[in-house]
Amino acid sequence: MTLRQHEHYLRVLRAHCRSPLALDLATLERALARPDWAPETRKSARTVFVGFCRWLHGMGYLEVDPSLRLRPVRVPPGVARPIPEPVLQRALGLADARERLILLLGAHCGMRAGEIALVNRDDLAGDLLLVHGKGGKTREVPVVDDELLHAIRHDARPWLFEGKTNGHLSSGHVTVLMSRLLDEHWTTHTLRHRAGTVGYDRTRDLLAVMTFLGHAKPETTLRYVRLPDDALRAVARATAA
């Protein structure tokens, strides 16, 4: 979770409470009850609220931590939403040079918007790109696309996407560029779902896909992989043999 997200959730909480010293369980529950929030968003907000309350309690500003009685948020199992190949190919045909590289980094390298924004020439060693992921975690992703390799090696200065956020584009700007280019129901993150789904379809190696996407748990990777059409038939044939 980014610093910007933390600030956003705390601003939401502030709108429901005149002072942090007046925080109570009812206030936390009202702040979490926004009807426009998906369960995953509500869960992230709850995490921020709990951390904030623990800090206030630990510093002595709150006598009792109200978040101790805050009910957990249940998140339904995620469903993979890989961008369809015709939609991806259409976008590649319409994209300018910068947008095309963003599409390829998402669809072929499985990178998040924030990771794409941070692509730097100095992080490339041979064909391995050091990707700066969530929570300060890093991973190495092979870049096998010649177009991408050439762009990172020769066009990055040193950022591949120059901008006003410490010299590079912000993750938000990457997201906006893709939302303008892609059809209504597809996003930068569905490019990453495409990488997970296609990667598993062609290798059937969930551990490798998990490492490629930078996940800590296979349960997370399963939300990025749409089971290939022939997978269940293969199991049925195996059990009947």
Q: What is the CATH number of the domain that holds 141?
A: 1.10.443.10
Does any domain span residue 179?
yes
Indicate if 218 and 177 belong to the same structural domain: yes
Is position 80 within any domain?
no
- Are the C-beta atoms of 161 and 100 separated by less than 8 Å? no
What's the CA gap between 171 and 178, in Å, rounded? 11
Q: Is residue 122 domain-shared with residue 213, that is, in the same domain?
A: yes
The predicted structure's pLDDT at residue 124: 98
Angle between helices 206-213 and 188-203 (to 10 degrees): 150
Same domain, 92 and 198: yes
Q: Do 92 and 61 sit in the same domain of this protein?
A: no
Residue-wise pLDDT tens digits, 40-76: 889 999 999 999 999 999 999 999 999 999 999 998 7
Predicted pLDDT of residue 210: 97
Partners of 124 in the β-ladder: 129
Q: What pLDDT is attached to residue 235?
A: 87
95 and 207 housed in the same domain = yes
State whether 65 and 7 are in the same domain. yes
Residue 1 has a pLDDT of: 58
Helices 3-14 + 39-58 axis angle, to 10:
80
Say whether both 197 and 141 belong to one domain.
yes
**Cβ contacts of residue 185 below 8 Å, gap of 6+?**
none
Q: Tell me whether the omega of the peptide bond preceding residue 218 falls within 30 degrees of 0, making it cis.
A: no
Within 10 A of 231 (CB to CB), how many other CB atoms are there? Answer: 13
User: Considering its fold, how many domains does the chain have in total?
Assistant: 2
150 and 53 in a common domain: no
- What confidence score (pLDDT) does residue 31 get? 95
16 lies in which domain range? 3-69
Residues 90 and 43 in one domain: no
Residue 75 lies in a domain: no
Domain shared by 11 and 101, yes or no: no
Report d(CA 11, CA 236) in Å as an integer: 52
Are 100 and 184 in a shared domain? yes
Adjacent-strand bridge partners of 131: 139
Q: If the chain, 241 residues long, is cut into consecutive pieces of 10 residues, what is the mean pLDDT of each piece?
A: 82 92 94 88 94 96 95 86 95 97 98 97 98 93 97 97 95 94 89 96 95 94 89 88 81
Residues 161 and 111 in one domain: yes
Has residue 78 been placed in a domain? no
The per-residue pLDDT for 35 is 87
Rounded CA-CA distance 59/61 in Å is 6
Q: Is residue 30 part of a domain?
A: yes
Q: In the chain, what is the straight-line distance between the N-terminal and C-terminal CA atoms, in Å?
A: 48
Please report where in the chains the tokens 């992989």 appear, as a residue.
225
What pLDDT, on a 0 to 100 scale, did the predictor assign at position 234?
Answer: 85
